[in-house]
């Protein structure tokens, strides 16, 4: 689209957990590149996906709010847009000059005064000294920095750092602005002024990617939101619907903090148990995923301690990120006769879970008692393309012996 300012196409970025792994795998990747061999597709030991298969587009004059818990990949996404990181897969396309406020105070020189930092930062933004002098009063007035203008910024509080940086960067026309929680350290009055400034920038055609844990700030500025969990985009849509899904993913029915009930489970001694549970067709090393409202197929492998058992039922529980059980399924209407070892195919025709990452636990039941129970069996990411319907608590499923 001609008016698209930022576009992510299937973007993934992985990191290494240790320095030794970074050095070793870096040398291995360099050798593969020199030998003109394709890059590795699967994860190696001590590697993880910080963001995985992210696709969205932001138009000119549009603000995209980025939601998710700590460690979800929000800051990594902004650094990919800022070219600080290069994607391992996919493509990031930006049109125009990108300015970022990602790390508090990273763009300021601590030994210089506020006034000197304004001139230095304006020069970095391509503003001449005469124009910088003309804008100086507006920058100082907006940030409320009159009393500390000639004080070295190393003596500023975090809030004053944020005031100075925000006032400088937003004082000039921008193409793309990246914001990562820089307003969280500011007082309420200055946050309100910042939100109004962001609205002015939007009307002037600035595209904004805005990471924040503040629902009022996001709702005031964002046109659409992207919900991230464990590096994956689980939902994309209007801010009110996305915040509702975010609350649900964290274990709350609504912003009134009403939690889902969590029934207690008392696992018994195992006579038959699930050895493995996976989503059919998931590549090794990937977080298994399903889509809200779409079918889902699970493969369950099991073992027993006896040769034959009376008919049993398979029961699975779905627990959200807050540790609360939000759904379950039970094959009680279709009794199962188990071999000593085998596989079951679990077909869920309609996945009624909202966006989030779920822990799946369970096992076999007989006469209302557990024969074996394992927790966890699987971590399941649920992607929600449409954010309009509530999720039922009981999942219909068909369980059959696998071939």
Cα angle 89-93-97, degrees, rounded to a multiple of 5 = 135
Regarding the domain with residue range 272-401, which homologous superfamily does it belong to in the CATH classification? Answer: abc- transporter (atp binding component) like domain (2.70.50.60)
The answer to whether the beta carbons of residues 249 and 357 sit under 8 Å apart is yes
pLDDT digits (tens, 9 = 90+) for 53-79: 999 999 999 999 999 988 899 999 999
Least confident of 38-42, 142-146, 161-165, 361-365: 38-42
Question: Where does the pLDDT of residue 257 fall: very low under 50, low under 70, confident under 90, or very high at 90 and above?
Answer: very low
- The angle subtended at Cα 134 by Cα 130 and Cα 139, nearest 5°, is 125
Burial call 190-204: b when 16+ CB within 10 Å, e when fewer: bbebbbebbeebbee
Distances (CA, A) of 302 to 90, 277, 314, 342: 38, 9, 11, 6
Question: Looking at the whole model, is its pTM more than 0.85?
Answer: no
| Residue carrying structure tokens 């996305």 | 242
On the question of pLDDT at 253 being above 60, the answer is no
- Within 10 angstroms of residue 17's Cβ, the number of other Cβ atoms is 11
Q: What are the tens digits of pLDDT across the range 326-347?
A: 888 988 777 888 888 889 999 9
Gap between the Cα atoms of 378 and 360, Å rounded: 5
- Domains of the chain by residue range: 4-249, 272-401
Q: What share of the chain is helix, strand, coil (3-state, %, to 5)?
A: 25, 35, 40
pLDDT of residue 56: 93
**pLDDT (tens digit per residue) in 146-168:** 999 999 988 988 888 888 888 88
* CATH number for the segment(s) 4-249: 3.40.50.300
pLDDT of residue 252: 65
């Amino acid at each position: 689209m001609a008016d698209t300012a930022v576009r992510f196409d299937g973007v993934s970025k992985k990191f290494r957990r240790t320095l030794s792994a970074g050095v070793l795998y870096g040398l291995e990747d360099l050798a593969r590149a020199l030998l003109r061999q394709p890059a590795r597709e699967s994860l190696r030991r001590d590697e993880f996906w910080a963001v995985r298969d992210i696709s969205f587009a932001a138009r000119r004059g549009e603000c995209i709010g980025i939601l998710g818990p700590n460690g979800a990949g929000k800051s990594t996404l902004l650094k990919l847009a800022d070219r600080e990181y290069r994607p391992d897969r996919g493509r990031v396309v930006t049109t125009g000059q990108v300015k970022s406020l990602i790390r508090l105070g990273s763009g300021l020189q601590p030994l210089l005064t506020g006034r000197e930092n304004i001139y230095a930062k304006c020069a970095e933004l391509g503003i001449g000294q005469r124009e910088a002098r003309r804008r100086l009063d507006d920058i100082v007035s907006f940030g409320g920095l009159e009393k500390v203008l000639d004080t070295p910024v190393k003596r500023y509080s975090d809030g004053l750092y944020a005031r100075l940086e925000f006032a400088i960067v937003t004082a000039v026309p921008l193409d793309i602005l990246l914001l990562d929680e820089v307003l969280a350290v500011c007082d309420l009055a200055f946050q309100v002024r910042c939100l109004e400034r962001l609205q002015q920038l939007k009307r002037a055609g600035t595209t904004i990617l805005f990471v924040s844990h503040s629902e009022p700030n996001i709702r005031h500025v964002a046109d659409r939101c992207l919900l991230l969990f464990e590096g994956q985009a689980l939902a994309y849509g209007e801010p009110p619907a996305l915040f509702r899904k975010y609350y649900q993913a964290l274990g709350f029915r609504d912003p009134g903090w009403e939690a889902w009930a969590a029934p207690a489970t008392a696992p018994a001694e195992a006579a038959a148990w699930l050895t493995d549970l996976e989503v059919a067709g998931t590549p090794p090393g990937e977080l298994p995923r399903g889509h809200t409202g779409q079918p889902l197929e699970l493969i369950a492998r099991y073992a027993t301690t006896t040769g034959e058992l009376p008919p049993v039922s398979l029961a699975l529980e779905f627990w959200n990120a807050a540790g609360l059980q939000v759904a379950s399924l039970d094959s009680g209407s279709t009794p199962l006769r188990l071999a000593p070892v085998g596989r079951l195919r679990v077909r869920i025709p309609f996945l009624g879970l909202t966006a989030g990452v779920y822990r799946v636990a369970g096992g076999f039941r007989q006469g209302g008692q557990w024969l074996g129970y394992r927790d966890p069996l699987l971590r399941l990411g649920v992607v929600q393309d449409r954010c309009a319907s509530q999720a039922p608590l009981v999942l219909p499923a068909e369980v059959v012996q696998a071939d």
